[in-house]
Amino acid sequence: MKHTDIRQILAKPEEYFGKRVVVCGWVRLCRDSKNMAFLSLNDGTSLPHLQIVIDKAKVALPEGAARVGSSVRVEGEVVKSLNKNQAVEVNADGVVLLGDCPLDYPIQKAKTSLDYLRTLPHLRVRTNTFNAVFRIRSRLSAAIHRYFQERDYIYAHTPIITGSDCEGAGEIFHVTTLGYAPQYKTAEEYNAADFFGCSAGLTVSGQLEGEVMAMAFGKIYTFGPTFRAENSNTTRHAAEFWQIEPEVAFADIDDIIEIATEFIKYIIKAVLDECPDELALLERFYEPELTAKLGKVVADDFARVDYTDAVEILKKSGRQFVYPVEWGLALQTEHERYLTDEVFGRPVFVVNYPKDVKSFYMKLNADGKTVAATDLLVPGVGEIIGCSEREADYDKLVKVIRERGMKMSDYENYLDLRKFGSVPHSGFGLGLERILMYITGMGNIRDTIVFPRAKGELR
Ligand code: 4AD
Ligand code: MG
């Protein structure tokens, strides 16, 4: 069906005035009176709709075409609009109904709260809100690739099925073909009989394999789905989320912080440049000053605070936190939010965490107590990036693996990287949905993924 994308017509109306076009789409709004009908048509290529004007004396309007949700094909002439809210409209001379939409279509104006729409993941994508969110997600993803490709990083495809738990948090989804099998008396017997002959799971991070690639290509990034069986039901945790993980050889913690800063500014600027309509809509309905906030992120420096100082700030805050604040403990969401929302008011890198609250692979600092690790926290969301310099010393890494009771044989390849031409290297992981929450103002991670997966939720 040869037709013109609505985006093209709206972007350059002067090129279309007086021309005949065919447009296809779904009716988003309609006004139907005795003599005239007006359809707001959307084909998904743009957030704004295209107005179709139908003079019923001249054009036959098929039954059902003037109904919200119906899909139509319209032929007509593009003309200047007299309505000040739009530059252009189409005077129809032919309307074909492609798909009728009965009145029980659940996406009606009156009840479109985000909570309600979450029960309809297959239909909510047709609303303006999700038109904006998922176009931003797409543009953001393209900008992420562009940032790395323009700088000669290699895009590495790391495996989804793995045998190791990179983060060591035991939040792995197991992959098995056996199912319930009472004949196996021990986990070892069960695993030996299973598909891979050992225990396997969905990756929580592509980092370990990313490091392998970085030791050959110098600068690499991954961009793919990662999975965590986190037992928490929060607005920021998904069981399946997309992660971007650059890994850079010959880079220390300060180098990677600089890269992360430049990267975040670059991708946010891309969304500001490419998605003004979408941001304006989200600003109107979800987060006042959204565009100004993002503009400031691009223009201003990010803050940086030592974990030890952050703990002091929290202790002196006079706030009653639910979770204790003590040197050596992890920062909880409430602590992170206090730092970002109340103290810094902009993105902040918290650096040098105690080694015991972080993963095994992080480089031990000279103090012997902290690691060269940082989280990037942003107002309203909390952590969006986990980042560190990696332990590049073979003996120190062996010691940590032993101390943590991890199975040495699982890490032989990883240790080889430290044995054969080890170099200082660093990397980070950005959660795509977390930064999308920040950019779109969506308060729930479920509203940044088409089909969100979380504990007890699989629609
Ligand atoms: O801080 P994390 O656990 O770091 C890693 O996985 C490292 N291997 C990254 C690296 O150095 N290559 O996770 C990285 C980011 C978090 O900062 C957060 O943005 C996101 O992944 N993330 C989640 N997003 C949604 N739902 C979850 N359950 C998430 N867990 C982590
Ligand atoms: Mg983290």
For the chain, percent of residues with pLDDT exceeding 90: 93
pLDDT at 232: 81
Is the pLDDT assigned to residue 1 strictly greater than 80?
A: no
pLDDT at 235: 95
CA distance 234 to 332: 13
Alpha carbon distances (Å) from 145 to 154, 217, 219:
10, 17, 13
Q: What is the pLDDT of residues 69-90, one digit of tens each?
A: 999 999 999 999 988 888 899 9
CA distance 249 to 189: 40
Indicate the pTM of the whole model.
0.96
Q: What is the pLDDT of residues 432-451, one digit of tens each?
A: 999 999 999 999 999 999 99
| Average pLDDT of the residues in 129-138 | 98
For the chain, percent of residues with pLDDT exceeding 70: 99
Nearest CA-CA partner of 27 in 37, 40, 9: 40
Q: Which residue has the higher pLDDT, 86 or 48?
A: 48
Q: For residues 454 and 239, is the Cβ–Cβ distance under 8 A?
A: yes
pLDDT at 111: 62
CA distance 158 to 179: 26
Q: For residues 411 and 373, is the Cβ–Cβ distance under 8 A?
A: no
Q: What is the pLDDT of residues 202-251, one digit of tens each?
A: 999 999 999 999 999 999 999 999 999 988 889 999 999 999 999 999 99
Looking from the CA of residue 387, the nearest atom of ligand 1 is: 11
pLDDT at 440: 98
Q: Which residue has the higher pLDDT, 164 or 137?
A: 137
CA distance 307 to 294: 26
CA distance 213 to 46: 38
Nearest CA-CA partner of 342 in 303, 373, 307, 288: 303
Q: Which residue has the tokens 């005035």?
A: 17
Q: What is the pLDDT of residues 263-311, one digit of tens each?
A: 999 999 999 999 999 999 999 999 999 999 999 999 999 999 999 999 9
CA distance 453 to 332: 23
The closest ligand to the CA of 204 turns out to be 1
CA distance 414 to 391: 11
Q: Is the CB–ligand 1 distance for residue 293 below 6 Å? A: no
Going from the Cα of 318 to the center of ligand 2, the distance in angstroms, rounded, reads: 26
Tokens at residue 89, please? 């409209």
CA distance 138 to 147: 14
Burial class (CB in 10 A: 0-12, 13-18, 19+), 410: middle
Is the pLDDT assigned to residue 357 strictly greater than 70?
A: yes
pLDDT at 43: 98
pLDDT at 110: 59
Nearest CA-CA partner of 333 in 449, 224, 437, 450: 437
DSSP assignment of 169-226: S--PPB--S--S-TT--SHHHHHHHSTTSS--EE-S-SHHHHHHHHHHHSEEEEEEEE
Q: Is the CB–ligand 1 distance for residue 167 below 6 Å? A: yes
Which 3 state secondary structure label does DSSP give 302?
coil
Q: What is the pLDDT of residues 376-419, one digit of tens each?
A: 999 999 999 999 999 999 999 999 999 999 999 989 999 999 99
Can you give the length of the chain in residues?
Answer: 459
Categorize the per-residue pLDDT at 37 as very low, low, confident or very high, splitting at 50, 70 and 90: very high
Q: What is the pLDDT of residues 88-127, one digit of tens each?
A: 999 999 999 999 999 999 998 756 899 999 999 999 999 9
pLDDT at 230: 87
Give the residue, out of 230, 432, 434, with the most ligand 1 atoms within 8 A of its beta carbon, to mutate for a pocket test. 434
Going from the Cα of 10 to the center of ligand 1, the distance in angstroms, rounded, reads: 39
Nearest CA-CA partner of 212 in 422, 2, 444, 395: 422
Q: For residues 20 and 7, is the Cβ–Cβ distance under 8 A?
A: no
Tokens at residue 435, please? 């930064």
